[in-house]
Amino acid sequence: MIKKGLFSLMLLVLLSQACLMAQYSIPQNRVWAMGYNLGLDFNTNPPTVITTKLANPNEACASVSDSSGKLLFYTEGMNVWTANGTIMPGGTNINGTSINTYSTTQGALIVPDPGDPFRYYLFSLTAVSKCRLYCNVIDMRFDNGNGDIDTTFSLRNTLIDSNLTEKMIAVPDCNNRVWILVRSEVSGEFKAYPITPSGFDRTPVVSQSGNFLPDYYTQGVLKASPDGERLMMCNFKTGSPARGLEIFDFDRSTGRVSNAQILDSAVYYGGTFSPDGSKVYAQTTGGSEVFQFDLSAADPSASKLRLGPSGQYTDMKLGPDGKIYFGALVGSPGFSNYRYMGRINYPDSVGTACQFQDSVTILHFPNAAQTAGVLRQGLPNDVVVPVQNVNEFKVALDTLICAVGTIELSAPLGYTGYTWDDNSTEPVRTVRERGTYWVSYKLDGCRTYVDSFIIKGSDLFTTITIDEFQLSTTGGPFESYQWYLNGAIIEGATSDVYNVSENGDYTVVVTDDYGCSFTSDVYRVTNYPTRIEGIAVLKEQIGVYPNPVQSRIAVKAPVLLSLSLFNIEGKSLFRNEKSNVIDISTLAKGMYLLRIEDQEGNFIKTEKVVKQ
Please tell me the predicted confidence (pLDDT) of residue 7.
Answer: 34
The 10 Å Cβ neighbour count of residue 36 is 23
* Cα–Cα distance for residue pair 593/509, rounded to 1 Å: 13
Residue 324: which pLDDT band, with cuts at 50, 70 and 90? very high
- Regarding predicted confidence, which is higher, 441 or 190? 190
Q: Is the pLDDT of residue 505 over 50?
A: yes
Exposed e or buried b for every residue in 217-226, given b needs 16+ CB within 10 A?
A: bbbbbbbbbb
Cα 51–chain centre separation: 31
Q: Is the pLDDT of residue 9 over 70?
A: no
In whole numbers, what is the pLDDT of the chain averaged over residues? 85
- pLDDT tens across 12-42, in order? 333 332 333 468 889 999 999 998 888 999 9
Class of residue 316 by CB neighbours under 10 A (exposed 0-12, middle 13-18, buried 19+): buried
* Amino acid 112: pLDDT: 97
**453 or 282, which is more confident:** 282
Which residue pairs, CB below 8 angstroms and at least 24 apart, start in 138-145?
138/73, 138/80, 138/88, 138/110, 140/72, 142/89, 143/82, 143/88, 143/89
pLDDT per residue as tens digits for the range 523-549: 888 766 544 444 444 677 788 888 888
pLDDT above 90 as % of the chain: 48
Kindly write down the DSSP assignment for every residue of 159-187, as one continuous string. --EEEEEEEEEEEE-SBS-EEEEEEESSS
Over residues 202-224, the mean pLDDT reads 94
- pLDDT score at 397: 56
Residue 217 has pLDDT above 80, yes or no: yes
Work out the percent of the chain whose per-residue pLDDT is above 70.
Answer: 88
Single-letter amino acid, residue 512:
D
Nearest to 266 by CA among 291, 292, 243, 237: 243
Using CA atoms, how far apart are residues 586 and 571, in angstroms rounded to an integer?
16
Q: In this predicted model, which residue has the larger pLDDT, 286 or 103? A: 103
Half-sphere exposure of 224 (CA within 13 A, CB side): 30
Q: What is the pLDDT of residues 124-181, one digit of tens each?
A: 999 877 899 999 999 999 999 999 999 999 999 999 999 999 999 999 998 899 999 9
Cα 312 to Cα 97, 129, 244, 274, 336: the distances in Å are 31, 21, 17, 21, 7
d(CA 128, CA 579) in angstroms, rounded, equals 87
227: number of Cβ within 10 Å: 22
- 32, β-bridge pairs: 40
For residue 211, pLDDT over 70 is answered with yes
Q: Is the pLDDT of residue 402 over 80?
A: no
Per residue in 478-488, is it b (16+ CB within 10 Å) or e — as a string?
A: beebbbbbbbe
